[in-house]
Amino acid sequence: MKRVLNVIRHDIVSITRDSVMVNIVVMLLVLAVAAATLRHMGLYPEWWHNTQLLLLLCYMPGMGYLFAMLIVDEMDSGVNQALLVSPASAMAVLCARVALPTAFVLIYAFAFIYSAQAIDLPFHHWLLPVLTLSMSVAWVTLLVPAISRDKVKALGLFKILNLYTAIATVGLFIPQDAWYRPVLWLTPASWSLNGIEAFIASQEAAGYAWSFGGLLFFGALVAHAAWLYLRRQAQ
Amino acid sequence: MAVAKIADDIISVTDLNYRYAGQARPAVAGVNFAVRRGEVFGLLGPSGAGKSTTQKVLTRQQRSFGGQVTIMGKPLGAWGSDYFERIGVGFELPNHYLKFTARENLTFFASLYARPSRPPADMLALVGLEAYLDKKVETFSKGMRMRLNFVRALQHDPELIFLDEPTAGLDPVNAGIVKSLIADLARAGKTIVLTTHNMNDVDQLCDRISFMVDGRFAALDTPDALKSAHGRRIVRVGTPDGTAQDFSLDGLGDNAEFLALLRTGRVDRIHSQEASLDQVFTNVTGHRLDAAEAGAAA
């Protein structure tokens, strides 16, 4: 356990040394404070709903990317080989690298939800959809180093994965009965947003169905990414 | 005798096989060897011969293999993370966290071990890098990074050390320092498995060497025995006028012609005609050493 914590501490130093993490966290705080301020001042009420969901969804893959880049960097420089012949368990380190950013986005999500209070739902209605969205962190953390050969490809791949997740927000701006709306169901993030919308509309069964379906969908993507990652490590 | 031999073997490999996924030919095919405690064992061969795969199996970077491998008295598969406490691995290419200093790199890796490590300053002083303790590794030359690689493998005082081309990229002075440290480690009872193309290193350091070709061992013996086996049992006597004469080593003390030549005082050099390790490499592997080095560099 101590070894894994040492690796994670080293990771955090590495991320903050590039100022990337600091910039992202500051940006997240500024956005959350701005949204909460508008809400509590009663300004632009027609935007509260969409702002809440947009801000909830769009930052999550980025947190995964920070840790994915650490792994890509280690592969690029060969340090991963040195770690493999150290007593630190590679699997435990990987789990910690997935768990840490996931925990961060979950804490941030609920802090944001309860500080902004833009959408009034009980905790048990938020839980499944937010858990589903947070799985994008694990997906990005595993899939980027599983496929990318270098940092440039990693950045390109991340932009695609981020778009795949964030495109669900298009659903907030198109009519509910648009014939092309089901195309958005190809991303599990849409299932999560549909779950939240169903809970808002007091359709509890539909809310759980969408949310649970999204969780399974993202779970399958994470499992596939983990399989690709482990296969690459074995090579 | 057999019991004593097993007790002395720190590595024992029987019928080792390894095939990469999707490859028709095994990378390692039925290799058998043992490394004795306190020995410097050379693993040589052209690129693609199976040296790196063998080393990856022994360092548990490749965990699924055929055959039996026993290390420090225990089957390799039965070891847990404590195995890595007792081995050190120096890689062929430098691999460090470039945005961290040399001290931070060594301190971080030391923090992954339960056993105490020597202070980074002491380790860096061994290879002449003490002045660069707090410099970021991204500012280091390749030779400096290689020296950092080397001391990182040793800092937790492992008893079994795997070194891959430890003098690659080093100038003669620093290569000499690293070789001297390897010799000190051997004198201190450490066991070293050395993979290299540098026959000079092999000649100076190794107690026994093995040549791998196509996943198999083509030869395994002491450097002197291999040089003798692949050389000619003659001495060549050169004279100041540029001529040279060969004499058989057998019965040399009674060879009247040889003795007469010595008595003339016109001898300016006498060389035995044992093979160099470069020649042994070529004879055994069927590859020229310079081609093998170029392949390794590619």
A168 by Cβ neighbours in 10 Å (0-12 / 13-18 / 19+) ranks as: buried
Query: Does residue B259 share a domain with residue B111?
Result: no
Q: Does pLDDT of B286 surpass 80?
A: no
Query: Does residue B163 share a domain with residue B246?
Result: no
Judge whether B46 lies within some domain: yes
- CB-nearest partner of B61 from A7, A84, A89: A84
State how far the Cα of A196 lies from the Cα of B173, in Å rounded to an integer: 69
Min distance B233 CA to chain A CA atoms (Å)? 45
State how far the Cα of B232 lies from the Cα of B274, in Å rounded to an integer: 6
Average pLDDT over residues A7-15: 87
Which of B197, B227, B257 lies at the terminal end of a domain, its last residue? Answer: B227
A vs B, Cβ pairs < 8 A, gives 58
Using CA atoms, how far residue B58 sits from A65, B18, B90, in Å, is 34, 12, 13
Average pLDDT over residues A159-170: 91
Query: Does residue B262 share a domain with residue B223?
Result: no
Contact state of A79 with B85 under an 8 Å Cβ cutoff: no
pLDDT of residue B291: 60
Judge contact between A213 and A191, C-beta under 8 A: yes
Q: Testing the interface with A: which of B108, B148, B154, B162 to mutate, by most A Cβ within 10 A?
A: B108
A231 by Cβ neighbours in 10 Å (0-12 / 13-18 / 19+) ranks as: exposed
Instruction: Check residue B286 and report its DSSP letter.
Output: S
- Given the cut 0.90, state whether the ipTM is greater than it: no
* Sign of the torsion angle spanned by Cα atoms B184, B185, B187, B192: negative
Q: How confident is the model at residue A217 (pLDDT cuts 50, 70, 90)?
A: very high
Q: Does pLDDT of B295 surpass 60?
A: no
State how far the Cα of A137 lies from the Cα of A155, in Å rounded to an integer: 15
Query: Does residue B117 share a domain with residue B238?
Result: no
Q: Tens digits of per-residue pLDDT, A21-56? A: 778 778 888 888 888 888 888 888 888 888 888 888
Q: Tens digits of per-residue pLDDT, B218-273? A: 888 888 888 888 878 888 898 888 888 888 888 888 888 888 888 888 888 888 88
| Residue for token pair 């050379």 | B42
Amino acid sitting at position A30: V
User: Which residues, listed in sequence order, are joined to residue B192 by a DSSP beta bridge?
Assistant: B40, B161
Average pLDDT over residues A139-153: 90
Judge whether B294 lies within some domain: no
State how far the Cα of A140 lies from the Cα of A171, in Å rounded to an integer: 22
Q: How many structural domains does chain B have?
A: 2
B108 in reach of chain A (CB within 8 A): yes
Judge contact between A178 and A196, C-beta under 8 A: no
| Chain A residues with CB-CB distance to B94 below 8 A | 78
pLDDT of residue B251: 87
Contact state of A88 with B95 under an 8 Å Cβ cutoff: no
Range of the domain at B251: 232-273
B100 in reach of chain A (CB within 8 A): yes
User: Which residues, listed in sequence order, are joined to residue B12 by a DSSP beta bridge?
Assistant: B34, B70
Containing B41, the helix (H) or strand (E) segment is strand B40-44
Average pLDDT over residues A72-96: 89
Instruction: Check residue B101 and report its DSSP letter.
Output: B
**Least confident residue range of A108-122, A184-198, B90-104, B264-278:** B264-278
pLDDT of residue B234: 85
Show me where the domains of chain A are located: 2-234
Residue B101: phi and psi, rounded to 5, are -80, 170
Query: Does residue B222 share a domain with residue B237?
Result: no
- CB-nearest partner of B99 from A7, A17, A86: A17
Nearest CA in chain B to A70: B97
Judge whether B284 lies within some domain: no
Nearest CA in chain A to B98: A77
Q: For residues A125-159, b (16+ Cβ closer than 10 Å) or e, as one string?
A: bbebbbbbbbbbbbbbbbbbbbbbeeeeebeebbe
Mark which residues 15-34 of B lie under 8 Å from A by CB. Answer: 20-21
Q: Does pLDDT of A66 surpass 70?
A: yes
Q: How confident is the model at residue B5 (pLDDT cuts 50, 70, 90)?
A: very low
pLDDT of residue B280: 80
A233 in reach of chain B (CB within 8 A): no
Q: Tens digits of per-residue pLDDT, B158-208? A: 999 999 988 888 889 989 999 999 999 999 999 999 998 888 888 889 999
State how far the Cα of B34 lies from the Cα of B54, in Å rounded to an integer: 13
Using CA atoms, how far residue A102 sits from A59, B32, B151, in Å, is 12, 48, 36
Comparing C-alpha atoms, which of A3, A1, A60, A5 is closest to residue A28?
A: A60
Containing A185, the helix (H) or strand (E) segment is none
Angle, alpha carbons B206-A80-A233 (nearest 5°): 105
- CB-nearest partner of A81 from B91, B99, B113: B91
- CB-nearest partner of B114 from A79, A87, A89: A87
Judge whether B130 lies within some domain: yes
| Chain B residues with CB-CB distance to A15 below 8 A | none
Contact state of B111 with A3 under an 8 Å Cβ cutoff: yes
Judge whether B285 lies within some domain: no
Min distance B146 CA to chain A CA atoms (Å)? 13
In this structure, the strands spanning B28-36 and B9-18 are antiparallel
Q: Tens digits of per-residue pLDDT, B26-36? A: 899 999 999 99
Query: Does residue B263 share a domain with residue B203?
Result: no
Min distance B89 CA to chain A CA atoms (Å)? 7
B247 in reach of chain A (CB within 8 A): no
Q: How confident is the model at residue A208 (pLDDT cuts 50, 70, 90)?
A: very high
pLDDT of residue B4: 42
> What token pair was written down for B38?
């306190």
Q: Testing the interface with B: which of A2, A6, A10, A21 to mutate, by most B Cβ within 10 A?
A: A10
In sequence order, which residues have a C-beta less than 8 Å from that of residue B160 and are 6 or more positions away?
Answer: B10, B11, B71, B72, B86, B87, B88, B190, B191, B193
A103 in reach of chain B (CB within 8 A): no
Instruction: Check residue B152 and report its DSSP letter.
Output: H
Judge whether B287 lies within some domain: no
pLDDT of residue B3: 41
Q: Tens digits of per-residue pLDDT, A12-26? A: 888 888 777 778 778
Q: Testing the interface with B: which of A85, A89, A227, A231 to mutate, by most B Cβ within 10 A?
A: A85
- CB-nearest partner of A79 from B95, B111, B112: B95
Domain of residue B102, CATH code: 3.40.50.300
Comparing C-alpha atoms, which of A215, A195, A197 is closest to residue A207?
A: A195
Min distance B271 CA to chain A CA atoms (Å)? 45
Nearest CA in chain A to B87: A85
Q: How confident is the model at residue B110 (pLDDT cuts 50, 70, 90)?
A: very high
How many beta carbons lie within 10 A of that of residue A117, not counting itself?
14
Query: Does residue B257 share a domain with residue B200?
Result: no
Compare A158 and B276 and report the one with higher pLDDT.
Answer: A158
Query: Does residue B258 share a domain with residue B215?
Result: no
